[in-house]
Amino acid sequence: MPYDEALERFEPVLGLETHVELGTESKMFCGCPTEFGAPPNTHVCPVCLALPGSLPVANAEAIESTIRIGLALNCTIAEWCRFARKNYFYPDMPKNYQISQYDEPLCTDGYLDVVVDGETVRIEIERVHLEEDTGKSTHVGGATGRIHGADYSIVDYNRAGIPLVEIVTKPIPGTDRLAPEVARAYVTELREVMRALGVSDVRMEEGSLRCDVNVSLMPRGASEWGTRSETKNVNSLRSVERAVRGEIERQAAILADGGRIVQETRHFHEDTGRTTSGRSKEEAQDYRYFPEPDLLPMAPDREWVASLKADLPELPSVRRGRLQAEWGVSDLDMAAMHNADAIDLVEATVAAGAPAADARKWWMGELARRANEAGKPLAELPITPAEVARVTELVSSGALNDKLARQVLEGVLAGEGSPDDVVAKRGLQVVNDEGELLAIIDKVLAENADAADKVRSGKVAAAGALVGGVMKASRGKADAARARELILEKLGVS
């Protein structure tokens, strides 16, 4: 069903579960390294392979990182809690259970505010808990890359035992037609909080941040929430938005036909933006949780927690507020920079000496346009904030005008060197030699006698064509404002 029609008839309720792999040096319960990309099954030991007789030891830094995440998300930190065993069989889990947390999570009852369409939406956080990641299965053969229909499967335990933080929201009603944007804004903000805390590299494409998206629909005006589906491991911000939208459209079509939503996990397909059915959750799985007997309970010291809270870095929303005030830009402009991932770039350009307005103008104008053409994020353009700052300096000193500055940026992006190299190689410099400029003007006036006469007779608007002629004759290198002054002077109307 088309999205607009779906929203006329139904209200969505969201829920988001995000897994963040912590960037600790070693795994959660052993000393194996956590580095991404090593040859398969080289970062393993008796503990993370669960060989008989091996015992886990909790990683203190992972516990500290989890508490810092909880504090940044305004959570209450448990005074006493335990790890729990989650029992299930799956080949990528050597123990046949996962050490996780169940009814005693480290952090509870927090929130994260996000801004969508100028409105602040408070996303309530139910819990933040610590667990270990599983290994990674690869299913070979078959059309889908999934286990069904595969010829065989191989497993890599390098990831097994990497500390994983799970952040679960409470149900999020009331987002209405903005549901997809709210989901995306939440994951975006969460990712920035993790970055500011320095607890994870949060690379969605490498799986260090993964998101499960829950969506249910209820008829408009209903008081009871519908059955939800859970779309697993959505791995880009854009996909989070598309998965919510796709699920709203799919569920609305089923409900409008008198059908019923099945509680299940679903898989998101990048190519179509649709989800397909995975595992049914109609019968709740019994994980037989029980307190992990091989690990001590955790009882974070209150003074330590208070000092972690006092030492939290400036959080992204606070930083944006500060920069907005420093730069004197509107909410709308700030939101645009945030959405374009331009804030860090503008800040670095300002730090390199550019006025904020100029830094913003080039990153959000010419460079955003070029990034868009290249289909790349702004930060991946081959130009540094210092180079952009140098271009703004050349413009404000009068050595370049905007048109020439665009050519300089083009040259830098094309790998022709620094802005000064490009100016020298391409011979891009405003004509500041007044004699040279006057010679061009004389030529243009002689060639455009009609326009010159009009200006002389008082139709000053006609000067525009003459200025245009000077710019053309100088191949864009003239200072247009100065040329206009000189033309009017010469024609006796200044």
Backbone angles phi, psi at 399, to 5 degrees: -70, -30
SS3 call for 363: helix
Backbone angles phi, psi at 472, to 5 degrees: -65, -45
Q: Which range binds Zn ion by CB under 5 A, 28-36, 329-337, 393-401, 433-441?
A: 28-36
Give residues with Cβ within 8 angstroms of 462, minimum separation 6. 451, 454, 455
Q: Which range binds Zn ion by CB under 5 A, 38-46, 102-110, 306-314, 450-458?
A: 38-46
Q: Closest CB to Zn ion among 135 and 411?
A: 135
Q: Closest CB to Zn ion among 48 and 471?
A: 48
Binding residue (CB under 5 A) for Zn ion from 6, 48, 391, 445 = 48
Q: Which range binds Zn ion by CB under 5 A, 37-45, 93-101, 201-209, 473-481?
A: 37-45
For residue 97, CA distances in Å to 48, 84, 128, 135 come to: 12, 10, 20, 12
Closest distance of CB 297 from Zn ion, Å: 23
315 lies in the site for Zn ion, by CB under 5 A: no
470 lies in the site for Zn ion, by CB under 5 A: no
> Measured between alpha carbons, how far is 181 from 115 in angstroms, rounded to an integer?
10
460 lies in the site for Zn ion, by CB under 5 A: no
45 lies in the site for Zn ion, by CB under 5 A: yes
463 lies in the site for Zn ion, by CB under 5 A: no
452 lies in the site for Zn ion, by CB under 5 A: no
Give residues with Cβ within 8 angstroms of 258, minimum separation 6. none
Q: Closest CB to Zn ion among 48 and 466?
A: 48
30 lies in the site for Zn ion, by CB under 5 A: yes
444 lies in the site for Zn ion, by CB under 5 A: no
How many residues touch Zn ion under the rule CB under 5 A: the total is 5
Q: Could you tell me the two tokens for 491?
A: 């024609």
Q: Closest CB to Zn ion among 57 and 154?
A: 57
50 lies in the site for Zn ion, by CB under 5 A: no
CA 159 to chain centre: 24
> Measured between alpha carbons, how far is 59 from 69 in angstroms, rounded to an integer?
16
130 lies in the site for Zn ion, by CB under 5 A: no
Q: Closest CB to Zn ion among 48 and 77?
A: 48
Closest distance of CB 298 from Zn ion, Å: 21
Q: Closest CB to Zn ion among 47 and 340?
A: 47
> Measured between alpha carbons, how far is 106 from 122 in angstroms, rounded to an integer?
21
58 lies in the site for Zn ion, by CB under 5 A: no
What residues pair up with 231 in beta bridges, in sequence order? 213, 266
Closest distance of CB 58 from Zn ion, Å: 13
Which candidate, 446, 430, 447, 405, places its Cα nearest to that of 483? 430
Q: Which range binds Zn ion by CB under 5 A, 40-48, 233-241, 375-383, 415-423?
A: 40-48
Closest distance of CB 45 from Zn ion, Å: 3
Q: Which residue type does 40 have?
A: P
Q: Closest CB to Zn ion among 28 and 125?
A: 28
Q: In 227-290, which ranges are continuous DSSP H helix? A: 237-256
Which candidate, 188, 190, 235, places its Cα nearest to that of 213? 235
Which candidate, 183, 156, 206, 197, places its Cα nearest to that of 49? 156
93 lies in the site for Zn ion, by CB under 5 A: no
Binding residue (CB under 5 A) for Zn ion from 7, 13, 32, 234 = 32
Q: Closest CB to Zn ion among 70 and 94?
A: 94
Q: Closest CB to Zn ion among 50 and 196?
A: 50
Residue the block writes with tokens 């000064």 = 420
Q: Which range binds Zn ion by CB under 5 A, 27-35, 296-304, 402-410, 452-460?
A: 27-35
Backbone angles phi, psi at 337, to 5 degrees: -65, -40
> Measured between alpha carbons, how far is 489 from 494 in angstroms, rounded to an integer?
5
Which candidate, 172, 81, 175, places its Cα nearest to that of 129? 81
Which parts of this chain interact with Zn ion (CB under 5 A)? 30, 32, 45, 47-48
